[in-house]
């Protein structure tokens, strides 16, 4: 099981491969490689999951878990920053 968005993006062939594949989808699904790089830190938007699933055998459950891991990590970092500021 892939644990984070970076591993999932790598399994898809990288940001450029995802951007290229997105062109096969309707216009509203197209995404740039630059946007895909942002997913590594922010999670993979649910509306982009069909692109990811078309490139790999990654499931919705794996995508959800990866996004939760990013959110949990971010929330922990924010709490530490607030504690240091106080």
Question: What are the helix and strand counts (H, E) for the chain?
Answer: 5, 0
Better-scored residue on pLDDT, 83 or 10: 10
Whole-prediction pTM value?
0.79
Q: How many CB atoms lie within 10 A of CB 52?
A: 25
Distance of alpha carbon 32 from the chain centroid: 13
The model's pLDDT over 3-50, given as tens digits with 9 standing for 90+, comes to: 899 999 999 999 999 999 999 887 777 899 999 999 999 999 999 999
């Amino acid at each position: 099981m892939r644990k984070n968005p970076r591993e999932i993006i790598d399994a898809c062939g990288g940001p450029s491969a995802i951007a290229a594949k997105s062109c096969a989808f309707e216009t509203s699904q197209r995404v740039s490689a630059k946007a895909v790089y942002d997913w590594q830190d922010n999670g993979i938007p649910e509306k982009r999951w069909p692109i990811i699933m078309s490139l790999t055998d990654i499931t919705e459950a794996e995508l959800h878990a990866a996004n939760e891991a990013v959110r949990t990590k971010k929330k922990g970092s924010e709490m530490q920053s607030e504690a240091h500021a106080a």
